Structure 1
């Protein structure tokens, strides 16, 4: 009950989930690892991403004492969720992913039954989203599109402008043509591009982010496991990066807020 919630992403995208978690569960301690030394995950072989996810998960539990793990990365969820759960199956540590909550929100949002998902090449090619939608049992028509380049723009702090818009118009064309009325941002980086994506898709399309839904799922799972903290104390939030600490602190601070002022190196010295 007293351990932190551990979460990780390839870089900055999972900060959207961290923000939702901090706002919804202000009394919980949190440790976030941004694997910026090896990002982006989306273009890497899924086997490599699977190994990264398992390594970071093990560190969050062994080095930081995490009581639950949030895989705040769609590509890592698609590639390595089963491995992460296997890693922790004997240790009674809950694992929450970002795909399942996002899909549930997507299928409950649409009114026409025509939905879209955008993600990294790795996430889209994995087939994780069609499988997750099929598990809901709700009949919808799904159009998926990989959006290479979006993550790189976010990681550079470039979330608006002509370059981003031109790329978005090209990549989102299949979704516009399919006339979807709900679009799931299937990468935790993409909410930072929501303004541009929304302008390209048009006012009739609802953008669905998995961040808030994931935070609700975490609260529910912790409650079921008896791991929610009680009391009014403010949680301690730690952030770590496998890459350049100054870059992570500066850009992450602009994206998330002052919580990133104290950023550590990962892996920690043992």
Structure 2
């Protein structure tokens, strides 16, 4: 992680996890086994998604209001498990928060760098799959370029709705993915590292791996959700004897949909979701 924690936080912390919707639950899924004894508070701002269609100022306002709610609930650290908010509002959130804030973009970029350094003979070129809003921000390219890595960003706007439809192993999704990858390879034929720049995409990783094999284009896959969870865990001391982590879920709309999709993203039942009104 770029900014090492000045000191470790409590071994049984409260950790706030924020996303505009459901995708950030893949970050929470990776966090749960890493910090035993943690109390997680997850907020999905489902009433105001998609963030990608909003202005930077509006995204920052929404994200900061959500961050403040989590801090008021006792969060010792805030994880922005949202690529759009990380790309466009991370500095606003950090300035508004008295607690550490971790986004998803820098951890993913640094994980790509670690892969590159572990394989010196591999071309230092990274292909980033992300949403249109994230690619238009060029946040991943900027982070990767700053680390000395070339970056090609490919917008894959159909993948999020396909994942939310539950079509994670559907022939339609496979064909859409094949088209996106072929288009990306035409622009970046030498890329050997694939960075999943959307928190929905870890659910597609098995399909991505099969598609890469079928295209005879092997790549090292970087899951930015897993990289972010590892960065968050670095803020806390080891606590192997901690009690199992607990989670409390909030959504600003669509409670039933959150429970249904959330269970798939988290890979365990989301039995109770609390409705929260954060205003306009």
Identify the TM-score tier after normalising by the shorter chain. Answer: 0.7 to 0.9
Please tell me whether the aligned partners of residues 102 and 210 of structure 1 are also in contact (alpha carbons under 8 angstroms): yes
Number of residue-to-residue matches in the alignment: 259
Please tell me whether the aligned partners of residues 46 and 79 of structure 1 are also in contact (alpha carbons under 8 angstroms): yes
Greater Cα shift, 19-28 or 231-240: 231-240
Task: Please report how far the alpha carbon of residue 129 of structure 1 lies from its aligned counterpart in structure 2 after TM superposition.
Answer: 1.1
Give the structure 1 partner of residue 5 of structure 2.
Answer: none
Give the structure 2 partner of residue 36 of structure 1.
Answer: 46
Give the structure 1 partner of residue 253 of structure 2.
Answer: 243
Within 5 A, what are the aligned runs for 1:40-59?
A: 40-59=50-69
Candidates 121, 127, 133, aligned match of 1:122: 133
Unaligned stretches of 5+ in structure 1?
Answer: none
Task: Please report how far the alpha carbon of residue 234 of structure 1 lies from its aligned counterpart in structure 2 after TM superposition.
Answer: 2.4
Greater Cα shift, 15-24 or 111-120: 111-120
- Counterpart-to-counterpart distance in 1, 2:55 and 2:172: 27
Unaligned stretches of 5+ in structure 2?
Answer: 1-9, 117-121
Secondary structure of 1:115's aligned partner: strand
Give the structure 2 partner of residue 216 of structure 1.
Answer: 230
Secondary structure of 2:52's aligned partner: coil
Task: Please report how far the alpha carbon of residue 164 of structure 1 lies from its aligned counterpart in structure 2 after TM superposition.
Answer: 1.3
Please tell me whether the aligned partners of residues 193 and 220 of structure 2 are also in contact (alpha carbons under 8 angstroms): yes
Residue 77 (structure 1) aligned with residue 83 (structure 2): no
Greater Cα shift, 96-105 or 256-265: 256-265
- Counterpart-to-counterpart distance in 2, 1:113 and 1:230: 37
Task: Please report how far the alpha carbon of residue 201 of structure 1 lies from its aligned counterpart in structure 2 after TM superposition.
Answer: 3.0
- Counterpart-to-counterpart distance in 2, 1:255 and 1:75: 18
Please tell me whether the aligned partners of residues 65 and 278 of structure 2 are also in contact (alpha carbons under 8 angstroms): no
Residue 256 (structure 1) aligned with residue 266 (structure 2): yes
- Taking structure 1 as reference, are residues 52 and 156 closer, same or farther at Cα in structure 2, changes over 3 Å only? farther
- Using structure 2 for the length normalisation, give the TM-score: 0.85
Please tell me whether the aligned partners of residues 116 and 184 of structure 1 are also in contact (alpha carbons under 8 angstroms): yes
Secondary structure of 2:145's aligned partner: helix
Within 5 A, what are the aligned runs for 1:161-240?
A: 161-177=170-186, 178-179=188-189, 180-202=191-213, 204-223=218-237, 232-240=242-250
Secondary structure of 1:258's aligned partner: coil
Please tell me whether the aligned partners of residues 44 and 122 of structure 1 are also in contact (alpha carbons under 8 angstroms): no
Give the structure 2 partner of residue 97 of structure 1.
Answer: 103
